[in-house]
Chains A and B, each alone.
Chain A
């Protein structure tokens, strides 16, 4: 009994458990709305809804956080509608509903299977059944008794309804959900006992990290005045891994410096960032040696939340960092965490100053969810700056942003540097980092290169060796023997002049190296046709207006435009996810309104931006087979199609078929998603922002996969804001702006129209800008190189 109380109380001692509790609560509350099966047992009180399996399942997965999570989730659900005195009994009932399974599993004497909460054997099934019935009874009893006590409904009406609902859903959904989720929870060490093992507060024999014996006497940094960060011989190895995530890293970063950390996925960028405010080793367990000092303070000992005053850390995913329902409260939160009590006026001044700094003045009352990506990330940065930290660390803050959003962030960072702030920025793509003070290249946990950006740009081969994408303009001149290479269009132009180079201007002499040949007129066959299509999510704002276009079989078409221009709406109309309000969408001359989605999926496949929004199966084989099963292929056709799809995206169909897709890297998960859509053999593949969060090598690999699919005859519709990819692969371009098609034509002619591109809020790749200086529209590095070389032959 005592253990239960301690466990339940312990949830509030650890941030991860608090987060888990809030996550379970929000899932429980959120699932009630869209997944309603819609059979009201008692209106307003009980409905037959699948969400009621969540407390039982999460209780067996996570233990005490599930008890709190279910209780709070039920309360939150009430906060979206029917908050009343009965909510108190709902809270208690759900708390018990979420704790009984955890308490009873393995403690049922002869009825206990003595195994993990998975339903593989009949004994486990029996144990689960008993527990599910007991938990449902307790929950139903408490809630119905309370509601009768309040005189709202008789016990005999409500109790059976709740009991029936919980038991039916628990028994039907519990076993499959546990089968899918338990192994993953176990792998990610998120079971209650796993998290407790890393507790700092209770059990002092278990430490979060083990300092290895130090070989040399490391003293505190000697020069506090000029250096902000001082790292000495830092080694770090995550728990349960055999590889060093950081290996003998020594660094010094001066006050007022803007430093970029770059490297491929898994090179140790994030790990290094996490050491700067003590997340490593205090939060992520592992073995650490060496020392990290920030502003003269040892980061390994001071609690992380205290270090927030010195160091602000911004993460990649801004969704995870916004915690309030309006902008002002978002900024007030960090101020309330400090020990000093600010007066209302000072608070207001701090908030206004921070908003001004990130150019969000006047948006005080806005819900952060209604801001654009760039604005949200700037809000996160403001929430760090509001406490005036000495150091700002940003871990890949621009991954989820469009080019305009990225530009906003970089402008802000340069501005911060002007004001004397010290900023460390981890990034994958060097193209945005032209004006930083210093670049540090990490690979395999080691500092491989360090120096001013221009010196790095001049070594495209070296950059490739560390998995980085060379600057396109520098790469254009990489054949030359000069020690510095240009980074910007202006520099490239001067470079050509300074080295007396000439460029080929005659179009017939230009080698057009674009990868994909255009469709010949005689091969034309309409596969998708939109006629005067209009669509709107709400009555006020149309999302798409009067769009009429035709797509031929075998085309490679890119849909470009800023975020919110209607790209995704357009694409979702193509496979019937959305149906037009006006006009019609014809797939192989059939109206999407008349075709069932399963039939459409055989013609038009849609790969979503985030692979995690579709992956659920236990193995990549099952994941890929899921798509085929639903579009009505015969089971015997499965095997061959799954093998083909897996091999098309570069998996070994025999060796890797049982791999859990959850354990793969982002790039590999993206490939699984492509395969699972591909397996149904759709003629058209719509691919939404495929390169989000992938590094240079992963992007190239994925784009090559797509290129091969196109060559094999698939029609490709690519939604992207990476203009470089459009230039290299797509033959046709559709420019969207404010819900309308601004232009439609061959990529080269679209890119040659500067005013059009600017009107759409876009920018052509730097190599194209460069070639336009001499009156040509070249799309790729190879084309520019060819133009340069052609001329040198003449010389």
Chain B
């Protein structure tokens, strides 16, 4: 059972240094936030999809596309309600759907999708340990980084326990499927209490196991390897910086945004 988005292949995107990937991700986020016009965001999206192709991450797209479509549709439906455009497209009662509202909705939907896709590209190519280590090199305290990777590591284990707990309670006659919302909520304690109880039983043991492995909160910062950027890192950073620079320039000169009123 693997819920993680990380795909263990060896593409050039995978081989980039964790820090490079974090910087590129943040720059992609910034670029997406600079634009609101669908065409610009569509272009950006094609870049991200190309990256996804290069990272052989299309398998993740197959499982996530429903969410991407949902986000887009939701945005398309929602924004026209809030945006007062000058060019009415159709009128339903008192409510006017404008071209601007629709364009804005489309743009925001694409922006959401670009953000999610960029995050996905990052997670497809970066194991959690690398993320945590890279963040530590940017100054995150090691203990916090460690807690993040531990928590991530335990999720599949907990999901396994959850499945067993549900089976154990079902085989004592508990019906999990039927009933309304309130019924479902009432069935929640017999499922969550064993899960948390099991976890509490392990807290001390886990902490002892970790210290026995050499983890100590008071220990000095762990030794880092020398700066190990490769040529591909410089190329990636240069292209990403250029993209951000061009986007800022475009944005300052009024391109890529739509003027709307609420």
Binding site for B on A (CB under 8 A): 12-16, 18-23, 25-27, 29-31, 33-35, 37, 39, 42-44, 48, 50, 68-69, 72-73, 75-76, 78-87, 150-154, 157, 169, 172-173, 176-177, 180-181, 184-185, 188, 190, 201, 274, 277, 279, 283-284, 303-306, 308-309, 311-313, 315, 317, 319-326, 329, 333-334, 336-341, 344, 365, 367, 369, 383-384, 387, 572, 575, 577, 596-598, 601-602, 605-606, 608, 610, 612-616, 626-627, 629-632, 662, 676-677, 680
Which residues of chain B come closer than 8 Å to A344, judged between CB atoms? 225
CB atoms of B204 and A325 under 8 A apart: no
CB atoms of A577 and B211 under 8 A apart: no
- A15-B211, A72-B151 known; A320 and B197 CB under 8 Å? no
Q: A177 to B190, alpha carbons, bound, how many Å?
A: 9
- A43-B74, A76-B151, A305-B215 known; A81 and B192 CB under 8 Å? no
CB atoms of A83 and B122 under 8 A apart: yes
- A44-B112, A320-B205, A325-B129 known; A630 and B166 CB under 8 Å? no
- 1/0 per position for B1-45, CB-CB distance to A under 8 A? 011111010000000000000000000010001001000000000
Of all chain A residues, the one with the shortest Cβ separation from B162 is: A34
Q: A180 to B165, alpha carbons, bound, how many Å?
A: 16
CB atoms of B214 and A308 under 8 A apart: yes
Binding site for A on B (CB under 8 A): 2-6, 8, 29, 33, 36, 64, 67, 70-71, 74-75, 78, 82, 108, 111-112, 115-116, 118-120, 122-123, 127-129, 141, 143-144, 146-159, 161-175, 181-182, 184-185, 188-220, 222-225
CB atoms of A153 and B213 under 8 A apart: no
CB atoms of A319 and B157 under 8 A apart: yes
Taking the closest CB of chain A, its distance from the CB of B53, in whole angstroms, is: 20
- A154-B82, A185-B200, A337-B214 known; A615 and B207 CB under 8 Å? no
Which residues of chain A come closer than 8 Å to B214, judged between CB atoms? 305, 308-309, 334, 337-338, 387
Extra contacts besides A305-B216, A308-B211, A608-B167 (12): CB < 8 Å = A13-B217, A16-B203, A84-B29, A84-B119, A308-B214, A336-B222, A597-B171, A602-B173, A605-B171, A632-B173, A676-B172, A680-B173
Q: A319 to B202, alpha carbons, bound, how many Å?
A: 10
14 A-B pairs (CB sep. < 8 Å):
A25-B148, A26-B158, A29-B152, A29-B155, A35-B162, A37-B181, A44-B74, A82-B119, A153-B108, A274-B208, A308-B212, A317-B202, A572-B167, A598-B175
Q: A341 to B221, alpha carbons, bound, how many Å?
A: 12
Instruction: Please pick, from A188, A337, A612, the residue contacting B194 in the complex, using a CB distance under 8 A.
Output: A612
Taking the closest CB of chain B, its distance from the CB of A178, in whole angstroms, is: 10
CB atoms of A326 and B189 under 8 A apart: no
Taking the closest CB of chain B, its distance from the CB of A279, in whole angstroms, is: 5
Of the candidates A19, A68, A69, A680, the one having the most CB atoms from chain B within 10 angstroms of its own CB is A19
Instruction: Please pick, from A19, A610, A627, the residue contacting B207 in the complex, using a CB distance under 8 A.
Output: A19
Which residues of chain B come closer than 8 Å to A333, judged between CB atoms? 213
Q: A16 to B175, alpha carbons, bound, how many Å?
A: 37
Q: A620 to B6, alpha carbons, bound, how many Å?
A: 43
CB atoms of A608 and B175 under 8 A apart: no
Q: A323 to B210, alpha carbons, bound, how many Å?
A: 9
- A25-B151, A283-B211, A334-B214 known; A339 and B188 CB under 8 Å? no
Q: A523 to B185, alpha carbons, bound, how many Å?
A: 46
CB atoms of B192 and A177 under 8 A apart: yes
Instruction: Please pick, from A43, A50, A303, A613, the residue contacting B165 in the complex, using a CB distance under 8 A.
Output: A613
- A572-B167, A613-B168 known; A337 and B217 CB under 8 Å? no
Instruction: Please pick, from A190, A338, A369, the residue contacting B200 in the complex, using a CB distance under 8 A.
Output: A190
Taking the closest CB of chain A, its distance from the CB of B247, in whole angstroms, is: 15
CB atoms of A181 and B67 under 8 A apart: no
Q: A274 to B207, alpha carbons, bound, how many Å?
A: 13
Of all chain B residues, the one with the shortest Cβ separation from A28 is: B151
CB atoms of A14 and B189 under 8 A apart: no
Taking the closest CB of chain A, its distance from the CB of B125, in whole angstroms, is: 13
Q: A369 to B180, alpha carbons, bound, how many Å?
A: 36
Which residues of chain B come closer than 8 Å to A606, judged between CB atoms? 168, 171
Taking the closest CB of chain A, its distance from the CB of B111, in whole angstroms, is: 7
Q: A151 to B184, alpha carbons, bound, how many Å?
A: 35
Instruction: Please pick, from B70, B146, B153, B225, the residue contacting A43 in the complex, using a CB distance under 8 A.
Output: B70
CB atoms of A616 and B67 under 8 A apart: no
Which residues of chain B come closer than 8 Å to A383, judged between CB atoms? 213
Instruction: Please pick, from B155, B209, B225, the residue contacting A315 in the complex, using a CB distance under 8 A.
Output: B209
Q: A601 to B167, alpha carbons, bound, how many Å?
A: 12
Q: A412 to B107, alpha carbons, bound, how many Å?
A: 61
CB atoms of B175 and A81 under 8 A apart: no
Q: A339 to B198, alpha carbons, bound, how many Å?
A: 35
Instruction: Please pick, from B78, B159, B202, B225, the residue contacting A320 in the complex, using a CB distance under 8 A.
Output: B202
Q: A556 to B213, alpha carbons, bound, how many Å?
A: 45
CB atoms of B29 and A23 under 8 A apart: no
Of all chain B residues, the one with the shortest Cβ separation from A316 is: B205
Which residues of chain A come closer than 8 Å to B196, judged between CB atoms? 27, 181
Q: A188 to B205, alpha carbons, bound, how many Å?
A: 12
Taking the closest CB of chain A, its distance from the CB of B76, in whole angstroms, is: 12
The 10 nearest A-B residue pairs measured at CB? A305-B216, A83-B119, A630-B173, A337-B214, A616-B193, A308-B214, A25-B151, A84-B115, A601-B173, A26-B154
CB atoms of A81 and B67 under 8 A apart: yes
Which residues of chain B come closer than 8 Å to A12, judged between CB atoms? 141, 143-144, 217
CB atoms of A43 and B175 under 8 A apart: no
Instruction: Please pick, from A79, A184, A303, A614, the residue contacting B172 in the complex, using a CB distance under 8 A.
Output: A614
Instruction: Please pick, from A79, A304, A339, the residue contacting B223 in the complex, using a CB distance under 8 A.
Output: A339
Taking the closest CB of chain A, its distance from the CB of B153, in whole angstroms, is: 6
CB atoms of B212 and A304 under 8 A apart: yes
CB atoms of B155 and A190 under 8 A apart: no
CB atoms of A631 and B194 under 8 A apart: no
Of all chain A residues, the one with the shortest Cβ separation from B150 is: A22
Which residues of chain A come closer than 8 Å to B174, judged between CB atoms? 597-598, 630
Taking the closest CB of chain A, its distance from the CB of B68, in whole angstroms, is: 9
Which residues of chain B come closer than 8 Å to A323, judged between CB atoms? 149-150, 153, 210, 213
CB atoms of B154 and A23 under 8 A apart: yes
CB atoms of B205 and A306 under 8 A apart: no
Which residues of chain A come closer than 8 Å to B158, judged between CB atoms? 26-27, 30
Q: A245 to B188, alpha carbons, bound, how many Å?
A: 38
CB atoms of B168 and A23 under 8 A apart: no
Which residues of chain B come closer than 8 Å to A85, judged between CB atoms? 29, 33, 115
Of all chain B residues, the one with the shortest Cβ separation from A596 is: B175
CB atoms of A190 and B203 under 8 A apart: yes
CB atoms of A303 and B218 under 8 A apart: yes
Taking the closest CB of chain A, its distance from the CB of B221, in whole angstroms, is: 11
CB atoms of B222 and A612 under 8 A apart: no
Which residues of chain B come closer than 8 Å to A615, judged between CB atoms? 194, 197
CB atoms of A325 and B127 under 8 A apart: yes
Q: A612 to B195, alpha carbons, bound, how many Å?
A: 8
CB atoms of A75 and B148 under 8 A apart: yes
Of the candidates A151, A172, A320, A630, the one having the most CB atoms from chain B within 10 angstroms of its own CB is A320
Taking the closest CB of chain B, its distance from the CB of A378, in whole angstroms, is: 16
Which residues of chain A come closer than 8 Å to B212, judged between CB atoms? 277, 279, 304, 308, 311-313, 315
